[in-house]
Structure 1
Amino acid sequence: MPRRWITLFAIGVAATAITACGAPGAQSAPTNAAGSASHAAAGNSTHVPEQLQFTAKTIGGQTFSGTSLAGKPAVLWFWTPWCPTCQHEAPIFGNVAAANSTVTFVGVGAQEQASAMQAFVDKYQLGSTTQLADSEGTVWSKFGVTQQPAWAFVGADGKVDVVKGTLSAQELTERVNELAGR
């Protein structure tokens, strides 16, 4: 990525982080990538939303394909290790993920080196969920996320609903139950 774009992205993220991190209330921005579907594999009719068409590294260095989430309910949580609101939401994310084995949970850390993200994951015991090291903000951009925290709810049907802002444990649980068909 050209240095100019990295700088512009960093400035934009920093500006929104300063004004948004810790701001109460969630804003929902539903999106549906119906016009840009692809298929997970040849002969497979699973709808893959444009947002899931990415490859990223986990905090541990393994390759993760967003298309692996296609056709099943998933929650992506966008966080940074230094955000106080993210620190508050981390145990909520971990607890709701542990209680819902039929929904896939993925954390998407950004704006830091993998070592700082790993320390965050260790501190809040999030190692049982996939945690991506999105240092360049590529996955964040795919979902239109410019501030943390944010959430993306991906239905088995490919519908993507992005919530920018905080969610309480009850709000997250309700969203997850809806994804799981409960």
Structure 2
Amino acid sequence: MRVRLILPGLLAATALTLVGCGAEKTVSSSGAAQKTNPTASGSSAPAQAGAGTAAVPAALRFTGTTVDGKPFDASTLAGKPTVLWFWAPWCPKCRAQAAETAKVAADNAGKANVLGVAGLDKNAAMKDFVSRTGTENFPHLSDEAGDVWKRFEVTEQSRYVILDKDGETVYEGVLPAGEGLAEKVAGLTG
């Protein structure tokens, strides 16, 4: 209950004080367990994505709604490296990252996943951002309540969390204008 009282204040303070700045951090596989909440969707046992597919790691056991209003199940991302791009529609640094993030998504289609996680605003603004930035080639969650942001302990916009094919966090940080994103993804798909 205490988290519910503190988190809205933290998100509001973050929105007012941070405009996409922060330090990058490479996280070891032991750190990944700290960054995700394996019981957030109710089970700590490994879930199965389906017959013949990869087991769903704890990091990818969440659901949401896309900015277009469609249901989204992150378990569909299992088995491939995944880039989670946390952005806000009013953020100039996020806007600067959009072109490179869309290029990485297009260049790695079928080899890696890219998922935008929009927050800190209303869905209409998020949908407009996707349209204006040309990032329609990959899905974007409308995370108005900040549930996915909380799950990954993201406290600032313009942040990438990169997971390997096993769902372990291998990178977390800011990549100005998306610089270095392609190389990080290539290191996981190559």
TM-score range, shorter chain: 0.7 to 0.9
1:164 to 165, 173, 176: 173
Match of 1:178 in 2: 187
Question: Is contact 1:75–1:105 with CA below 8 Å preserved after alignment?
Answer: yes
2:89 to 67, 75, 81: 81
Match of 1:95 in 2: 103
* Mapped partners of 2:53, 2:140: distance in 1: 27
Question: Is contact 1:23–1:165 with CA below 8 Å preserved after alignment?
Answer: yes
Q: Are residues 1:125 and 2:139 paired?
A: no
* Mapped partners of 1:124, 1:117: distance in 2: 11
1:67 to 72, 75, 78: 75
* Mapped partners of 1:26, 1:147: distance in 2: 12
- The answer to which of 141-150 and 18-27 deviates more is 18-27
* Mapped partners of 1:93, 1:142: distance in 2: 22
Match of 2:26 in 1: 28
Over residues 59-87 of structure 1, what are the superposed CA-to-partner deviations in whole Å (9 max), with x where a residue is unaligned? Answer: 11111111111111111100000111111
Gapped regions of structure 1 (runs ≥ 5): none
Q: Percent identity?
A: 33
Question: Is contact 2:60–2:167 with CA below 8 Å preserved after alignment?
Answer: no
Q: Are residues 1:145 and 2:154 paired?
A: yes
Query: Aligned pair in 2 of structure 1 residues 85, 168: CA closer, same or farther (>3 Å)?
Result: closer
Gapped regions of structure 2 (runs ≥ 5): 39-43
| More strand, by proportion | 1
Question: Is contact 2:87–2:94 with CA below 8 Å preserved after alignment?
Answer: yes
Match of 2:113 in 1: 104
Letter in 2 for 1:90: A
Question: Is contact 2:49–2:78 with CA below 8 Å preserved after alignment?
Answer: no
Over residues 76-121 of structure 1, what are the superposed CA-to-partner deviations in whole Å (9 max), with x where a residue is unaligned? Answer: 1000001111111111211221222211111000111111000000
Q: TM-score, normalised by structure 1?
A: 0.85
Question: Is contact 1:32–1:49 with CA below 8 Å preserved after alignment?
Answer: no
Letter in 1 for 2:26: S
Query: Aligned pair in 2 of structure 1 residues 148, 115: CA closer, same or farther (>3 Å)?
Result: same
Please show how residues 2-81 of structure 1 align to structure 2 within 5 Å.
Answer: 5=4, 8-23=6-21, 25-30=23-28, 31-33=31-33, 36=44, 38-41=46-49, 46-81=54-89
* Mapped partners of 1:69, 1:37: distance in 2: 18
**Secondary structure in structure 2 of the residue aligned to 1:135:** coil
RMSD: 2.6
1:162, CA displacement in angstroms? 4.6
**Secondary structure in structure 2 of the residue aligned to 1:27:** coil
